[in-house]
Amino acid sequence: MGLLRTYLFEKHNILKAKLVPFAGWEMPIQYTGIIDEVNVVRKSAGIFDVSHMGRIEITGDDAGKFLEKILTVSVTKMDIGFAKYCFILNENAGIIDDVVIYRISDDKYLMVCNASNKDPVVSWLSGLIKSFNDISLLDLTLETVMIALQGPSAFKILNAVLNDSNMHSDFLSNLDLFEFCNYNFTFENGDSGYSQISLISRTGYTGENGFEIIVPNGIGLRIWDQLHNYGALPCGLGSRDVLRLEAGLRLHGNDIDQTSNPFQAGLKRFVDMENSSFIGHEELLLQNEKGIYKHLVGFRMLDKAIPRKGYLIMDSDKNIIGEVTSGSHSPTLELDIGMGYIMGSRPRIEDDIILHGRGRNFNARVTKIPFYRRSLN
């Protein structure tokens, strides 16, 4: 079976993107270069084709009750027009995926999951749905385009696009985007149902202000072109990975997976323990009582070296205490940075550690996550 392609694939070819296999898709890894694209997002605005992400509609009278069993948040307490970041856990509280759930109405939700996990997530949901009555799932991934607009200029650019007379017939217009708070979204439905939805949310994966836009395939290319015309520069998944690491955002398959839980990953704030019905709740309670035995930490390199996934982490006596999960050079901070799990007690900020990889040792120092925070101005 060949690689999947997003609806914007030909546009990436025209823009001379470097295309690579990613999670079963042929995706742009870069256009002008990863460092250039990181700088664009930090200083102005970039656009990313993230249409490979899974988009699953959950509808029906039992949708809320069903999702409270699946997700680590209480979706029925969410206001309509808001989204939340949360987790799907297995019985051992391991992270099947990290997702964003949008509450469209009392009985309609949209879940955005990772591309590599879409099929396992759909399978997991389908296996659990049988004990509920009025509920249905619809995979909208191939019917829609998803674009991330990220950076300090995102508000200005998207506002210009929405008020462009050429967009009024097909897309949301005359919105006051500056009233959007984080994880707020707005949408409109077309005549033929949810598959014709246009949705804008104040979400992202870069640590910058920005938006994610979900529209039907038929207008996705026009949105991309308009964002580009108003000053947002195309960026690939390579820069997106660096940006998310600078912001201390976890990547499923690297920093979180089914061998780790949200508490170990330092993401307890995205778990509503008052929702006692979600799968994995009892295991998290037990771990809280026993104490957490491994901790995800951030570190900066003292030696000039880019930390790689799989490098061993050692203490000052060269005892192996953990393993690197993500690492990169940070163009924004002009540092080499990374994250990894350390077994046993939580290390203190500024503790020195040693990384071992490719037959060499490298000195590093534990630091706070996130490595980078945007200016509030």
pLDDT (tens digit, 9 = 90+) per residue, 157-169?
Answer: 999 998 886 665 5
Question: Of 243-247, 293-297, 372-376, which range is least confident?
Answer: 372-376
Could you tell me if 349 and 300 are in contact, meaning their C-beta atoms sit under 8 angstroms apart?
no
The pTM score is 0.94
pLDDT at residue 193 tops 50: no
Do 110 and 143 meet the contact criterion of CB atoms below 8 Å apart?
no
Residue 190 has pLDDT above 60, yes or no: no
pLDDT in the model for residue 182: 83
pLDDT at residue 295 greater than cutoff 50: yes
Give me the mean pLDDT over the 127-142 stretch: 93
Burial readout 296-309 (b: 16 or more C-beta within 10 A, e: otherwise): bbbbbbbeebebeb
Query: Where does residue 292 rank: exposed (0-12), middle (13-18), buried (19+ CB within 10 A)?
Result: middle
Q: What pLDDT, on a 0 to 100 scale, did the predictor assign at position 197?
A: 67
At 180 the pLDDT is 76
Whether the CB-CB separation of 25 and 5 falls below 8 Å is answered with yes
Higher pLDDT, 182 or 59: 59
Average pLDDT score, the chain:
93
Partners of residue 24 on adjacent β-strands: none
For residue 192, pLDDT over 60 is answered with no
Over residues 147-156, mean pLDDT: 97
pLDDT greater than 80 at residue 366? yes
Confidence of residue 114 (pLDDT cuts 50, 70, 90): very high
Round the CA-based radius of gyration of the chain to a whole number and report it: 21
Bridge-partner residues for 102, per DSSP?
83, 110
Indicate the domain borders of the chain: 1-289, 293-367
- For residue 195, pLDDT over 70 is answered with no
DSSP state of 369: S
Mean pLDDT of 319-339: 98
Q: Minimum mean pLDDT among 145-149, 195-199, 230-234: which range?
A: 195-199
Domain covering 293-367 in this structure, CATH number: 2.40.30.110
C-beta separation of 146 from 50 below 8 A: yes
Give the strand order in the sheet containing 144-150: 185-190, 193-201, 210-216, 144-150, 46-49, 233-234
Rounded average pLDDT over 137-147? 96
Structural domain 1-289, CATH architecture: 2-Layer Sandwich (3.30)
Rounded percentage of the chain residues whose pLDDT exceeds 70: 93
What strands, in cross-sheet order, belong to the sheet with 136-139?
83-89, 95-105, 108-113, 54-59, 136-139
